[in-house]
Amino acid sequence: MMTQAQAHIRVRDLTLRYGEKLIQQNLNFDVNNNDIFIIMGGSGCGKSTLLKHMIGLYQPAEGQIWVNNDSLWQVSESKRQRMMQHFGVSYQAGALVSSLTLAENVGMPLELYTKLSPKEVAELASLKLSMVGLAGFEAYYPAEISGGMLKRAALARAIALDPEILFFDEPSAGLDPLSARLLDDLILELSDSMKSTIVMVTHELASIFSIGNNSVFLDTETQTMLATGNPNLLLTDCENPKVQQFLRRGEVMNA
């Protein structure tokens, strides 16, 4: 059984490639139990690519990703599929099915991976929507709600199966500052209520500093990680100029 101190996810000697194109190499970091872990770095450094490897969509060129005590790419295909059922994923664009209502979108994972009756699926979908502040919107279609509400609906679908680990790809992208802040607050609430480990790709400094308690910084030029740890501590203690430039860019913009 996993202890509080044991890393929930361990990334070891990871190299990511698209064909012959190197994306990142020599990645080594831990995501601890109940972390809100931030994958950060400049545009094009491979943040979303790393996330897709961590959720089991892409196989790494080298290295291993351990979830609890199992290597994601050394187990059988059937075991990997079972492991992935404990992941909840919210993609940058939401990826909701436009022809389905919000309740039907949230209910899809429940229909696929449980033996619940249609009534039970509907009740659970309604509960998950209420958890993200969308009670009463079950019958709405994605085109009928705002961008912020779409992000919340995508979160509701991601938590449908009460996952151990939640993966978010730029959850606040395209939102105004107030909506982004409300979404950050919701992520904190979900982390507290569900006791899930959260891994999140973001470049938003407000999110990085307000909700992240662990992180990895990916560099485009060297194609490897330059730092890992609490973003607020990296701001004060990390001497790497690229990390400092990234984390302090808000000061330049506000100067």
Residue ranges in 159-237 assigned as alpha helix (H): 177-194, 205-211, 231-237
Q: Report the percent of the chain where pLDDT is more than 90.
A: 75
- 253 pLDDT band (50/70/90 cuts)? very low
User: pLDDT tens digits for 51-63?
Assistant: 999 999 999 999 9
Predicted confidence at residue 3, as pLDDT, reads: 42
- Per DSSP (E only), the strands in 33-73 are 36-41, 62-67, 70-71
Domains of the chain: 1-86+163-174+194-255 (3.40.50.300), 96-162 (no CATH)
pLDDT of residue 93: 62
CA distance 245 to 247: 6
- Mean pLDDT confidence for 7-16: 96
- Secondary structure element (H or E) that encloses residue 78, with its range: helix 77-84
Residue 2 has pLDDT above 50, yes or no: no
Neighbours of 4 (CB within 10 A): 7
Distances (CA, A) of 62 to 23, 42, 111, 176: 12, 23, 35, 39
Q: Angle, to 10 degrees, between the axis of helix 102-113 and the axis of helix 118-131?
A: 120
Banded model confidence at residue 210, pLDDT cuts 50, 70, 90: very high
